[in-house]
Amino acid sequence: MLKLIIIHGAGGTYADALATLGGMLDLRPEWRDGAYLLDHRTGRVARQILNEPDPSPLLQSLQKLAVGRLLVATRTRTPGAREPGDQYAISEEVLQRGFAHLGIPWALESRVRRGKELLSESTRELSEITQILDTASHALKRTDELVSEAAARDSLLGVATGRWRGDEVLGTLERFREMSESGGDVDTVTSAALYAQWIHGQRKDAGATAVYGRDYRYVFINYHERLDPLGAYGPAELLMADLPIAAFPHFDDDARALAAQGVKIARFEDHHPYTPDHRQMLEKLVEDGVVGHLCLSGPLQGEELPAGTEKCAADMVYESVVANRSWDTPGTRTVRETAHGEDFVTDRSDLGRVMTDLIKGGFCKVELAQLVQESFERDDAMHRIETSGLKAMTEGWKSELEVEQAGLCEHAYVLSVKRPEQNAEVCGGPSMGAGSDVPVPVPAEPGMGSHDLKILVSLAVSSKPGKPRMSVGKAIEYYARVFPDVDYAFYSYGCRLMVARRLNQADTALNLGDLMPRIGGEGDGGHGGAAVCRPDSNPGFPSRRLGSVDGSNFRHYVRYLGAKLEASGYAVTAAVNRSVAAQDDLRKSGTRLAVVTLVAVLIGLMLVIFHDDFSRKAIERSNSDFLSHLKGTREDALPREAEGDGASQK
C-alpha cells in the first residue's frame, strides 16, 4: 500500500511547478467590482508572477499572457461563479504600476483590443511551452513512479525547444517551486528521510526495490490544517512524525474520516507537549484501529522530562524503524544526530546549519529529504550538499541579505502579545534555538514563566531591477536570524498584502490561517504557520487615515494591527520600535550639489584671476549706482536730477 510520509509545512515539487505553469497558461480571470478575480490558487501564483521585479524571458511572456487575459476579461460577461472565499483579486493599480509599458488603455474597446494583441503575441512566444509541458510531464512521471527532484532537474535541463532553453524553463519552474515552500525544519525532513529509508530497507529485504511515487511519497500538512486532502491519495498509510497534536484540534474527526476512505495512520510519533485529553484521544484511535503505532515522547502537561532524555522526532523514528536493522547505516546515525542537534540547539553541526539555512531559505523540502535519504548509504550528506552547490547557494543568500539588511530592518516593530492562558502549556513557547521546534521547558505551575508572544511587523523591501530579489522566504529567514526572540513575522507589502510566518516552530499559540481572515478579508488565510491576507480588504480598514502604507505612516499601521489583534482576543502589551535607520538618500543629492557648486566656484576663480571685468575695482565700479546709500557717499545718494549740481561742485 502507498505510504504517505508527512512533512510539516508547505512545499512543492517540479511536478507541482509544471502543473502551476500549465495553470498559468489557462488563466480565467473575471472582471468584477473594479478588480480582476481569479481562483485563489492561480491568483496567488499570478500575483507573484506579476510582481516579479526581474523576470526571466519566459516569465515576461507569462506576464504578457496574464495581462492580456486580464485585459480581455474586462469585457467578458462571466456570471460570478466563484465563492467569496475562493477568489483572488488583482487590482488595476497592479497593472498600471507594473505594466504600463505593455500599454494598458483606459477605454474599454481599446483595452480589450490591446488584450487580444498581447494574447496573440504571448501565444506565439509560448507556443512551444505546451510541448515542453507535455514532454516534461512525461519525463517526470513514468506510470505510477515519480522521479526524484534531482532527476527531474536533469530531465528538465534537457527539455528544450527552438525558442526556450532548458535552463530558462528550469529557472521558471524553480521559481514556481519556491513559491510553494514555507515552514518545516530539519527534524521533519530527516524524520521523513528515515521513514523512506525504512521503506527502502523493507523492500530490499523482500527482494524488491522501493519506488518513489508507487510505494511511498512525501506530502505536506501544516499546523492547524485539516487532514481531509490526504484522502485524495486513495487507500494509503500515513507516517506522521514531528506533528504536535495540539496543532490539530480536529485530529480525531479527520483521522476517522480518512480511515473511512481507506487512509489509515500507520505511525504517529511525536515529541511535543500534550495533554491527558490528547493522549486519551490518540489511545482511543489506536484502540479503534484508526492509528497503528503511537509513540509520544514529549512532556505531559505539568511534567518535565529529565535532562538528557529529550528526543526529537528523528530520534524516535530512528529508534523505532531504523536502529539495528539492516538499513541502519552510519549515514542514518549522522543525520539523526544532526536533527537532534538542530532541534535542541546542542552540538550543532555544519550539516545541520546548512540544512536549516536551506529550509528557511525556501529550498524544496522534498528534494532535501530525497538527498538526505540517498546519502545514508555512504554517509555523505554534507558532501552531496557541497557538490550540488547548495551550500554555496546558502552563502550567496546570506551575502545578498546583508546588502538588503538596512532595508529589511528600516521599518520593523515588535508587538508583544500575552500568551493565551488556557493552553499556554501546550502552545509551545520560545524555541531552543534557530532551526529547532522544541519549546523551552515550562515550569510546573501553569501560566508562570511563559513569555509573551513576540510578533515582528516589518515593511517589505521592494527589489529594484537588477538587484538580488528579496523573496519572502529569504526575508523570513533573515528575520529569524536577526530577531531570534521573535515568534512570528508579519511581512507587509504596504497594506495591500501581508505575509505571516511562524518563525518559532516551537510555538503554536497563533493559528495564522485563522488569524489572517480577521485582519484581512474573508478569502484570506493559509496554514497555521504560514498565511497571507490583504489588510486593506478588511471592512474596518481605515483607508482614509492610513491610505497606502509606507515608511512614513508605518508606525500607525503597526498600531492598527495591534488593535486588530486585540479585537481577535489577544492582549497586546507593548509595541517596540526595532527599526534601523537606512542611509539618507539625500546625501547622494547633496554630493551632486556639492560637485556642481565646486565646478561653479572653480569657473569663478578662473574668471577672477584672468578676467579684468571681475576684479574687485571693476565690480565695485559697476555697482556704484546700486544701493549707494549703503556706502554712504554723498555723491552716490543724490537723486538723478541733482547730479549735475554734484558734478559741477566736484
Residues 104-163 contacting other proteins, CB under 8 A: 104-110, 113-114, 117, 121
Binding to other proteins, residues 616-635 (CB under 8 A): 616, 618-620, 622-623, 625-627, 629-632, 634
Which of 86, 92, 237, 380 touches other proteins (CB under 8 A)? 92
Per residue in 284-304, is it b (16+ CB within 10 Å) or e — as a string? ebeeeebbeeebbbbbbbeee
Residues forming a β-bridge with 300: 274
Q: Which stretch binds other proteins (CB under 8 A): 57-65, 97-105, 252-260, 287-295?
A: 97-105
Q: Give which of 552, 185, 126 is closest to 345, Cα–Cα.
A: 185
Q: How far apart are CA 409 and CA 170, in angstroms?
A: 32
C-beta of 116 vs 138, nearer to other proteins: 116
Can you tell me the distance from the alpha carbon of 365 to that of 363, in angstroms, rounded to the nearest whole number? 6
Return the half-sphere exposure (C-beta side, CA atoms, 13 A cut-off) of residue 142: 8
Residue 123 CB, nearest approach to other proteins (Å): 14
- Options 384, 542, 575, 582; binder of other proteins; rule CB under 8 A: 542
Select from 15-23, 74-82, 182-190, 510-518 the region that touches other proteins (CB under 8 A): 74-82
Among left, alpha and beta (phi > 0; psi -120 to 50; other), residue 289 is left
Name the β-bridge partners of 91: 35
As measured in angstroms, the least distance from the Cβ of 636 to other proteins is: 9
Longest dimension (CA), the chain: 131
Q: Is residue 465 a contact point for other proteins (CB under 8 A)?
A: no
Site for other proteins in 234-293 (CB under 8 A): none
Cα gap 650→631, rounded to integer Å: 19
- How many residues interact with other proteins (rule CB under 8 A)? 77
What are the phi and psi torsion angles at 578 (to 5°)?
-115, 25
- Smallest separation (angstroms) from other proteins to the CB of 70: 13
75 binds other proteins (CB under 8 A): yes
Least separation in angstroms between residue 535's CB and other proteins is 12
Q: Is 614 in the site for other proteins (CB under 8 A)?
A: yes
Decide: is 604 part of the binding site for other proteins (CB under 8 A).
yes
CB 561 within 8 A of CB 457: yes
- The three state secondary structure string of 483-506 is CCCCCEEEEEECCCEEEEEECCCC
| Terminal alpha carbon distance of the chain | 123
Q: Which is nearer to other proteins, 308 or 544 (by Cβ)?
A: 544
Least CB distance to other proteins at residue 53 (A): 16
- Establish if 422 lies at the interface with other proteins (CB under 8 A): no
Q: Give the binding range for other proteins (CB under 8 A) out of 72-80, 154-162, 373-381, 418-426.
A: 72-80
Contacts (CB under 8 A) with other proteins, residues 168-207: none
Q: Which three cell numbers stand for residue 544?
A: 482614509
Nearest residue to 486 via CA among 474, 494, 478, 496: 478
> Which of residues 29 and 201 has its CB atom nearest to other proteins in the complex?
29
Q: Which is nearer to other proteins, 112 or 281 (CB)?
A: 112
- Give whichever of 455 and 506 is closer to other proteins, judged by the CB atom: 455
Given 1, 80, 96, 205, the residue binding other proteins (CB under 8 A): 96
Q: Which is nearer to other proteins, 53 or 235 (CB)?
A: 53
Q: Do residues 256 and 282 touch, judged by C-beta distance below 8 A?
A: no
Task: Rank residues 26 and 544 by Cβ distance to other proteins and give the closer one.
Answer: 544
Q: Radius of gyration over alpha carbons of the chain, in Å?
A: 32
| 20 vs 14: CA distance, rounded Å | 9
Residue nearer to other proteins on the CB measure, 34 or 569: 34
Q: Which residues have a Cβ under 8 Å from the Cβ of 295 and sit 6 or more positions away? A: 267, 268, 269, 270, 316, 320
User: Based on CB atoms, which residue is closest to other proteins, 26 or 641?
Assistant: 641
**Rounded to the nearest whole angstrom, what is the least distance from the CB of residue 645 to other proteins in the complex?**
6
Residue 349 in the binding site for other proteins (CB under 8 A): no
Considering only 223, 248, 560, 570, the residue that binds other proteins (CB under 8 A) is 560
Least distance CB 571 / other proteins (angstroms) = 14
Residue 329, number of CB atoms within 10 A of its CB: 18
Residue 102 binds to other proteins (criterion: CB under 8 A): yes
Question: Smaller CB distance to other proteins: residue 246 or 460?
Answer: 460
Does 392 help bind other proteins (rule: CB under 8 A)? no
Non-local CB neighbours of 471 within 8 Å, separated by 6+ positions: 178, 362
Three-class HEC string of 224-267: CCCCHHHHHHCCEEEEEECCCHHHCCCHHHHHHHHHHCCEEEEE
Return d(Cα 313, Cα 271) in angstroms, integer. Answer: 6
In the window 30-59, what residues touch other proteins (CB under 8 A)? Answer: 31, 33-34
Span near other proteins by CB under 8 A; candidates 16-24, 94-102, 448-456, 501-509: 94-102
If binding is defined by CB under 8 A, does position 484 make contact with other proteins? no
Instruction: Check residue 406 for interaction with other proteins (CB under 8 A).
Output: no
Site string for other proteins, 352-371 (x = CB under 8 A): --------------------
Q: Does 74 bind other proteins (CB under 8 A)?
A: yes
- Contact code string over 561-600 relative to other proteins, x by CB under 8 A: --x--------------------x-xx--x--xx-xx--x
H or E element, residue 519:
helix 512-519
Q: Is 540 in the site for other proteins (CB under 8 A)?
A: yes
Q: Which is closer to other proteins, CB of 142 or CB of 611?
A: 611
Tell me how crowded residue 601 is: count the other CB atoms within 10 A of its CB. 10
307 lies in the binding site for other proteins (CB under 8 A): no
Instruction: Kindly state the smallest distance separating residue 648's Cβ from other proteins, in Å.
Output: 10
Specify the residue, 208 or 567, whose C-beta has the smaller distance to other proteins.
567
CB of 454 to other proteins, least distance (A): 22
Q: Rounded to whole angstroms, what are the CA distances from 291 to 258, 272, 513?
A: 11, 18, 26
Q: State the DSSP code for 269.
A: E
**In the complex, minimum distance from the CB of residue 128 to other proteins, in angstroms, rounded to a whole number:** 21
- Going from the C-alpha of 177 to that of each of 13, 134, 192, 419, 626, the distances in angstroms are 6, 18, 19, 34, 76
- Measured from the CB atom, is 208 or 637 closer to other proteins? 637
Q: How far is the CB of 87 from other proteins (least distance, A)?
A: 17
CA 184 to CA 243: how far, in whole Å? 10
State which of residues 550, 574, 583, 595 lies at the interface with other proteins (CB under 8 A): 550
